[in-house]
Amino acid sequence: MLVRLRLLVASLLGGSLLLAILCLGAQNLEQRPSLNLGVGRTAQLPAGFLVGLALVVGVISGGCSVALLAPRGDQLPGRE
């Protein structure tokens, strides 16, 4: 249980740190396209911010899924 909690906290903190760095880096970008979603359009955001946001979401979701799918401490191979 402790391993799962550490993995979950580490992925959330790592994703939050990446998001903070991404927001700081995207402040002064000039080209700001908007995406057409079919129903409407998004706000004008830099393309690098959109790609970086997808990366951050992937880091957080991947870390959370590993934390949820990790075996419990008493079910590890080699432990009796």
User: For residues 18 and 66, what is the distance between their CA atoms, to the nearest angstrom?
Assistant: 19
Task: For the chain, 80 residues long, give each residue's pLDDT as a single digit of tens.
Answer: 688 888 889 999 999 999 898 888 777 777 777 778 788 887 787 777 888 888 999 999 998 898 888 777 655 565 55
Q: Any residues with CB less than 8 A from the CB of 33 and at least 6 apart, and which?
A: 44, 45, 47
The predicted model scores a pTM of: 0.68
